[in-house]
Amino acid sequence: MSKRVLLATEKAFAAVAVKGIESIFADAKYELVKLENYKSKADFLGAVKGVDALIIRSDEVDKEVLEAADSLKIVVRAGAGTDNIKVDIAKEKGVVAMNTPGQNSNAVAELVFGMMVYIARGQFNGKSGTELQGKKLGIHAYGNVGRLVAKIAKGFGMEVFAFDTSAEKIEDMKKDNVHIVKDIVELYKTCDYVSLHIPKTKETTKSINYGLLSLMPAGATLINTARVEVICEESLLRIMSERKDFRYATDVMPEAHDKFKEFGDRYYATPKKMGAQTEEANINAGLAAARQIVDFFEKGDVRFKVN
Ligand code: 3PG
């Protein structure tokens, strides 16, 4: 039976990805409604009424949205993190929530290096900066992005260290021949650069705190392409005020952005989250989301279900 699908993206996909999504739903004879670059939540609330499926990016799917979505059966986050979906409320309402793991990881991993080079070179201010070669890189969490970061880091001649609590991911570290760090404290103590790849959960919120950051060696740089909430901003502001050698580059703008800007070349934040903003990542994640929706309705496939 024909389905109605809403693509709701406050930060739109590249046109080429949208074309691909349209074609998947045209083949399935589903109706696709697009709400791209929307400016108000009211528009989103209005658009979810009567749809069977929803594709989102970082768009918040909270209680209000789930209540307005009176026919919704499935929501797919075209991307990795599902912290923007109230997955428990969705479950109570019988709505399946999914993500598309790994589909935008390379884009995020490449951005990590763009940001590292940019900040190591003083944001191209004309003065002598430093190189990545020979530096120690700590990867905090070894999921899809962390693993690709390790691979690229080797090309730069960096020494790679990684920390994760999952046994499966420690196996991946062994295969990839990176230094396995058993204690998080050691990662921060050892590494010139730490790149964050932890999801936002109750446990990780504000977990990057003064205790950890103060362990980092002279000339330390923290890179955040994960979530703004995992950082304890007060701690980071304190460290950056105390240590003129400490640098921070982030793809998720801190609440205290104006205060951080006072650190000049030692601080950089992208104006809008750019990690997954490549045509390739948009195609990979967007088309995977569309296929997962068709497979869910046509074959009952719930492989990527998170709730
Ligand atoms: C993700 O969780 O997949 C990334 O944070 C990308 O988010 P975006 O699709 O909103 O750019």
3-state secondary structure of 68: helix
Query: What is the pLDDT at residue 103?
Result: 98
Which ranges of the chain have pLDDT less than 50? Answer: none
pLDDT digits (tens, 9 = 90+) for 202-248: 999 999 999 999 999 999 999 999 999 999 999 999 999 999 999 99
For residue 80, how far is its CA from the centre of ligand 1 (angstroms)? 6
Query: What is the pLDDT at residue 78?
Result: 98
Query: What is the pLDDT at residue 141?
Result: 98
Q: Kindly list the protein residues whose Cβ atom lies closer than 6 A to any atom of ligand 1.
A: 11, 57-58, 79-81, 104, 273, 275-276
Query: What is the pLDDT at residue 87?
Result: 98
For residue 170, how far is its CA from the centre of ligand 1 (angstroms)? 24
3-state secondary structure of 158: coil
Of ligand 1's atoms, which has the minimum distance to the CA of residue 274? 11
Of ligand 1's atoms, which has the minimum distance to the CA of residue 79? 3
Of ligand 1's atoms, which has the minimum distance to the CA of residue 99? 3
Query: What is the pLDDT at residue 249?
Result: 98
Query: What is the pLDDT at residue 132?
Result: 98
* End-to-end Cα distance, the chain: 25
Contact 286, 278 (CB under 8 A): no
Of ligand 1's atoms, which has the minimum distance to the CA of residue 57? 9
Query: What is the pLDDT at residue 245?
Result: 98
Give the C-alpha separation, 196 to 207, whole Å: 11
User: Any alpha helices (H) in 100-229, and if so which ranges?
Assistant: 105-120, 144-155, 167-176, 184-190, 210-213
For residue 144, how far is its CA from the centre of ligand 1 (angstroms)? 13
Determine the residue of 11, 13, 58 to mutate for testing ligand 1's pocket, defined as the one with the most ligand atoms within 8 A of the Cβ atom. Answer: 58
For residue 159, how far is its CA from the centre of ligand 1 (angstroms)? 27
pTM for this prediction? 0.97
For residue 81, how far is its CA from the centre of ligand 1 (angstroms)? 7
Query: Which H or E run includes 34?
Result: strand 31-36
Determine the residue of 111, 230, 273, 306 to mutate for testing ligand 1's pocket, defined as the one with the most ligand atoms within 8 A of the Cβ atom. Answer: 273
Of ligand 1's atoms, which has the minimum distance to the CA of residue 11? 10
Query: What is the pLDDT at residue 238?
Result: 98
Structure tokens at 275: 């990690």
Query: What is the pLDDT at residue 119?
Result: 98
Which amino acid residue places its CA nearest to atom 3 of ligand 1? Answer: 79
